[in-house]
Amino acid sequence: MSVPLIYIGGAWRSGSTLLERMLASIPGFWPVGELVFVWEWGLKLNNRCGCGERFHDCLFWNKVGEVAYGGWQRVDADEAVRLRATVDRHRNLDRIAGFRRHGKLAADMAAYLDLTSRLYHAVHEVSGASVIVDSSKTLSYALVLRELPCFDLRLVHLVRRSHGVAHSWSKQVPKPGVGDGNSFMSTHQPAWSVGFWIADNLLYDALAGQFPIATRLRYEQLVADPRIQLVKLFDRLGLRVLDRTLDFLKDTSAELMPTHGIAGNPMRFDQGLVSLRVDDEWRTSMSPRRRLMISAATWPLLKHYGYPIAPERLLSHDLATPSR
């Protein structure tokens, strides 16, 4: 019997950590964070797990390493990082998706798939979960995971308005759990972030048919009405969730449980009652000129996803259910 593997994909800074944390509060669901980065982030750099412990001190990940490989010390970390960097790239999408022969990439792809397959099977065995949730986001990695034996990949294409993504990339945000704890998340100018927002979302739209089950969810809708959106998501993903009351959701907050998520947004460390609100700081912090430039660059996709093109429109328009 195949194990459902929910994969949250889309552009970076689209709210994937929040969605994953919500799903983590459902019995039987087990989040792993951005597990694509486990080799460098965890194995080499020994950064902090979502539980607060360093990777090599975390009992859960130590047990996973034992089950998967006989211990993490038996994994060549440099080779694992090299395999990921070689295979998991946009330029290999056609080969990973099966549109072209693997060619010279075949040996590295086989090795990377074997390494990854053992990891996910160990996560399933150690956690005892019925559903695994991964928020790694990249499309190339989603296509790799599609090939895992005994797992049933179900894709959630998470979309956030381009203005919100661009503004998120422009802010200097502390990055706890990395190194000495004094690091900050990377920042980029709007031209860079908007370019990647367009490319990532277009690629997910174009290749959604490569996945047996794929659906789309808007960040703004999720935050505004999480209970209804999560129930709809279960149905679209074909997941059998018996208790749909979702008691961890309160009026405007959510009771979040600790997890063992790898990498991701700093909110992976948040526990207890967390306020839920749409992060629309860009509406007041972003200059009218910049808002207009982003609208001009992204209006076809904004329209496609059901967003109002003019950023001055009321927030309620962003939260309305799109026509498709």
- Mean pLDDT across 120-136: 97
Separation between Cα atoms, residue 17 and residue 128, nearest integer Å: 22
Q: Residues 2-42: pLDDT tens digits?
A: 999 999 999 988 999 999 999 999 999 999 999 999 999 99
Length of the chain in residues, anyone? 324
Sheet holding 29-31, edge to edge: 29-31, 131-137, 3-9, 151-159, 213-218
Give the model's confidence band at 130: pLDDT under 50 very low, under 70 low, under 90 confident, else very high.
very high
**Alpha carbon 145 to chain centroid, angstroms:** 13
Q: For residues 276, 21, 29 and 320, what is the CA-based torsion angle, rounded to 10 degrees?
A: 40
In this structure, which CATH number among 3.40.50, 3.40.5, 3.40.1350, 3.30.230 belongs to the domain 3-282? 3.40.50
Give the three-class secondary structure for 222.
Answer: helix
- Phi, psi dihedrals of residue 236, rounded to the nearest 5°: -65, -30
Supply the pTM of this predicted model: 0.92
pLDDT value of residue 119: 98
Average pLDDT, the chain: 89
Q: Residues 32-52: pLDDT tens digits?
A: 999 999 999 999 999 999 999
Q: Residues 266-297: pLDDT tens digits?
A: 778 888 888 888 888 888 888 889 999 999 99
Domain limits, the chain = 3-282
